[in-house]
Amino acid sequence: MTDLKNKILEEIQNSKIFDTHEHFGHDGLYNPSSVLSLEQILHWSYIGLKKQHYANYTELCEEIQKNRVFATAAFASIRFALKSLYEIDIYPISPKKMENLEKKIQNAYSDSSYIFRVLEDQANVQNVILDIQPEFWKPWHHKNKPIFEQTIRIDEVICPFIKIKPGVYSLSKDVNQIAKYAISNSLSIETLEDFEEALEKYLETLRKHANVIKIGVAYQRTLNFQLEENEDGKIRKIYSKMKSSNSTYSEKENQRWGNYILTILLGYATIERIPVQIHTGLATMKETSPLFLLDIMEVFSSVQFDLFHGGYPFHETIPGILSQRNNAFVDLCWLPIISQNATRQLLKELIEWQSVKKVCGYGGDCIAVEGSLGALFVLKDILAEVLADFIKDNRFNKTDAISIAEDILYNNAAKLYSA
């Protein structure tokens, strides 16, 4: 069994990779010419470090030891990557290892093309969809492989309200992307019609570099989206309130406004024929199961929905959803870092349900390239194990297994995102 798994791993070692989701340079924390520290890399790797900076390597090791992260999928992922890139196994941890690792990291990042070389040479990544704010896009435009593309993401427009108490909201004081765009282009957004026009122009501006819409509002609200076309004029009343100060908003107003903006975005996706990525699962956990997207996927049946993170921890629903909605796809981005067991189980069921063509297997969902590479190592390891099990049970042969792996790692996403 182990020999068979290793043979499959060897076969897919140099397979082309489509990376559907990364946060490299999120919030402008760094760009390709920046030099990252070991502390930053570990902090961004989901292992639960409380701080980005520690007094010394001893304190850093004590923090890792105290949190007992060694058994987590996230630690396994970053451990894989650091060992591959810098030839140091951080477990068992020690201050001396950390010091030596820091030196190697600093040396590697002295090359401004390092991140791109890791993606191309170490991982054979052909395409990366980068989910960061538009003002930070430019440094990531890369002439060679991998090809970087961006997302259209305006979550703060979908959810402009802050919860004061259950069922009561106030308007955020932050200036959202549409307001910034209107100010910089001398556009009025005084009326709802003005706002809609500015939104349309802004989407057209982003579309020049983006080939997908990303919806990440499961951290703020339910995924139980409904079609909202303002037929009763209530959206105009909500917008009028938003132009005044000190107003409060009900849960119904919060939901209706979000539904309204999402309806506009999905209408735009329909016209532009671009897919929509939606964060599902882990977030508020209040109606964040992908099951709550069934209605809106039916209404916008020509839009292709990429359901992120395997729906975890509601991943058992995914095969059924894919069987009921032709326009639904599942994306395993982040999942290998969250739970190797869930990744393994979901892959098995997706193969059994003949849903292989609807699976986008890889997206690191990481801020640093080390975390992303580790996620890919873990995914490949699990995928090889699952495929070996099917071969062992005489359910298909090795040629079939490699074909399935190539679909999951590259072909499906390349087709979905028209690469």
Q: Calculate mean pLDDT across residues 21-38.
A: 91
- Could you list the residue range(s) of the whole structural domain that residue 46 is in? 37-108
* One domain, residues 283 and 211: yes
Q: Calculate mean pLDDT across residues 302-316.
A: 98
Q: Calculate mean pLDDT across residues 176-201.
A: 97
- CA neighbours closer than 13 Å in the CB half-sphere of residue 257: 25
* One domain, residues 375 and 229: yes
pLDDT in tens, 371-408: 999 999 999 999 999 999 999 999 999 999 999 999 99
Tokens 């007094």 belong to which residue?
Answer: 55
Q: Calculate mean pLDDT across residues 83-94.
A: 96
The span from the CA of 211 to the CA of 304, in Å, is 12
pLDDT in tens, 106-140: 999 999 899 999 999 999 999 999 999 999 999 99
Q: What is the pLDDT of residue 144?
A: 77
- Check pLDDT > 60 for residue 249: yes
Boundary residue ending a domain (78, 108, 138): 108
* One domain, residues 278 and 253: yes
The secondary element (H helix, E strand) that includes residue 93 is none
Boundary residue ending a domain (57, 87, 108): 108
- DSSP result, 176-211: PHHHHHHHHTT---SSHHHHHHHHHHHHHHHHTTEE
Q: Are 84 and 122 in contact (CB under 8 A)?
A: yes
- CA 394 and chain centroid, separation: 35
Boundary residue ending a domain (108, 133, 157): 108
* One domain, residues 74 and 151: no
Strand partners, 171: 161
The span from the CA of 40 to the CA of 51, in Å, is 9
Number of domains in the chain: 2
Q: Calculate mean pLDDT across residues 257-268.
A: 98
**Residue 408: which CATH number?**
3.20.20.140
- Check pLDDT > 90 for residue 296: yes
* One domain, residues 382 and 260: yes
| 418 pLDDT tier (thresholds 50, 70, 90) | confident
Q: Calculate mean pLDDT across residues 224-251.
A: 94
The span from the CA of 358 to the CA of 412, in Å, is 7
Q: Calculate mean pLDDT across residues 240-251.
A: 91
* One domain, residues 48 and 167: no
* One domain, residues 138 and 61: no
* One domain, residues 75 and 193: no
* One domain, residues 88 and 153: no
* One domain, residues 303 and 397: yes
Evaluate the CA torsion angle 33, 38, 40, 41 in order and state its sign: positive
